[in-house]
Amino acid sequence: MTPKFEKDIFISYAHIDDESLIEGEKGWISEFHRSLKVRLTQLLGYEPKIWRDDRLKGNDDFSEEIIKGLNEIALLISIHSPRYVKSEWCVREVNEFYKVAETNIGAKIGSKSRIFKVIKTPIDLEAQTPFLQGLLGYEFFKIDPFSGKPIEFNKVFGKEAQLAYWAKLDDLAHDIVALLDKIKNNELTNNLKTDDSASEGEKTEGESELGKIFLAETSLNLKENRESVKRTLLEKGYQVLPDKNLPLDVDSYNAEVKEMISESILSIHMIGSNFGFVPEGTEKSNVQLQLEMANSLTIPDSKGRLIWMPPQIEIKDERQIRFVEELKNSESMLNGADLLISSLEDLEFAIEDKLKVKNTLLSTSEETSDNDGPKQIYLICDQADIDDVQELDNFLFDKGFDVVLPAFEGDQTEVRLDHQENLINCDAVLIYYGNANELWLRSKMRDLLKIAGYGRKKKLLSKTVCIANPMNPRKERFRSHELQVLKLTDDINASIEPFIKEIS
């Protein structure tokens, strides 16, 4: 049976970090304590018991009474700073809580630690307590892109820093509530399973019912964008990976990234102006390595993948320039992924679209019937050609095929979802290239490269472009190694005969 803890949270901190920068105002720790209690009360519906010691100093006696008190605490918040990691007292608080936690319900509940690492001021990973180094932590600061100096999330540094403070505090509060709920609702047993001991196919504690999403690490200049996307995904109920710090050497790094992507239903990669962190043993950045790993796993495992770049970025690093140019111009680099060069809002829309596809289309049959029933042709056309394509539609129907035309009514997500479902379920694709422009055609051709990522496993019987009036020199010269190209004339039967032979 789960023990009843007397206190919900213990805040461990260095006293110097509660010294106010402005005389007469509350210190950072005091304000953090107050605001966290308010937010948790709003989320829990009751006031949690939060304790921090505002009397003890580094030369006080760390007695058995203190250790006993740690046994009565559900969660610990460790507020990291340069002074904190140098304080024997603070380090001992964390170590003793960890030891005590292991003797009651465990220091981890599934994959979630009962110690929450709040980083007030940046410090080297090696300076942190070893068993906390793997935790990502909640960073209450950002690095100024121009000076390279950390800016603490504190109202004294302006409105932007204050807003960032509340956003990060809200992230922390939601995660605390989720863990407190598990403890207080007696969802734990005396023999808690960890990720390693769980049987195959069994969902462990802390794992989302909706699935895992790999949100790749990014360079410093896109960190806030990544945090925004991560917050949205967590609010929707997905588990976001990586959920711990990754190894520093490239072999171990690649192994862990591969495992995480393999477990995920979608991977998201955000490309910025900076090159990113380079693990030991390679010249490639973490951004490149994770993208390459997802690339190798996407097609065979039908993993969805989104690659995003802001519309305007200034790149000075030659390594990043080469990487971005290759990404934009190489189909092998994309390998079925969606490349978005657009606003962050467009990325969030694309993620929502992709997840709807995953949650609905992958539950349908991925194999179309070979023998029973007519073959299905997805006749793709622009809305401007809907009347002109009618004759071709009737011709194919009379030949014994079922013809599906694209949807044009409904919101953008519904239309896109229908389009992807047609690509998964049809036997052949025929693109009618009439009044639409060349950009429209390229878009439809790129969609055909992504169908494995949408969830299709069976090969299309035919991928054909049908060039129709009005003709122009560029359309006359159009050719492709990937698709069959036909020109529609007044004799539809003769024009379409090669397509009919391919699918019959």
pLDDT(131) > 90 = no
> Six-digit token pair at 320?
């990043």
| Architecture category of domain 1-196 in CATH | 3-Layer(aba) Sandwich (3.40)
pLDDT class of 366 with cuts at 50, 70, 90: very low
The dotted CATH code for 376-503 is 3.40.50.450
Judged by DSSP in three states, 117 sits in: strand
What is the pTM for the complete model shown? 0.62
DSSP 8-class letter at 190: T
Where do the H-state alpha helices sit in 24-158?
28-44, 64-70, 82-86, 88-103
pLDDT class of 289 with cuts at 50, 70, 90: very high
> By the 8 A CB rule, do 188 and 199 touch?
no
Number of residues that make up the chain: 504
Domain ranges of the chain: 1-196, 208-363, 376-503
pLDDT class of 300 with cuts at 50, 70, 90: very low
Q: Given this model, what pLDDT does residue 224 score?
A: 86
Show Cβ contacts of residue 454 under 8 Å, excluding neighbours closer than 6 positions.
304, 357, 361, 420, 423, 424
Q: Given this model, what pLDDT does residue 362 score?
A: 47
**Average confidence (pLDDT) over 55-83:** 75
pLDDT(57) > 60 = no
pLDDT in tens, 194-213: 444 444 444 444 455 678 99
Separation CA 166–CA 162 (nearest Å): 7
List, as one string, the DSSP characters of 146-169: TT--EEES-GGG-HHHHHHHHHHH
**Average confidence (pLDDT) over 22-51:** 92
- Fold match between domain 208-363 and domain 376-503: yes
> By the 8 A CB rule, do 135 and 127 touch?
no
13 exposure class (CB count in 10 Å sphere: 0-12, 13-18, 19+): buried
pLDDT(98) > 50 = yes
**Average confidence (pLDDT) over 254-277:** 91
| Architecture category of domain 208-363 in CATH | 3-Layer(aba) Sandwich (3.40)
> Six-digit token pair at 399?
């030949």
Q: Which of 368, 388, 384, 5 is nearest to 180 (CA)?
A: 5
pLDDT(490) > 50 = yes
Q: How far is CA 69 from each of CA 6, 73, 169, 444, rounded to the nearest angstrom?
A: 9, 7, 26, 64
pLDDT in tens, 413-468: 788 888 988 998 999 999 999 999 999 999 899 888 777 666 677 889 999 999 99
Q: Which amino acid is at 395?
A: F
Q: Given this model, what pLDDT does residue 371 score?
A: 52
Give percent of the chain above pLDDT 70: 87
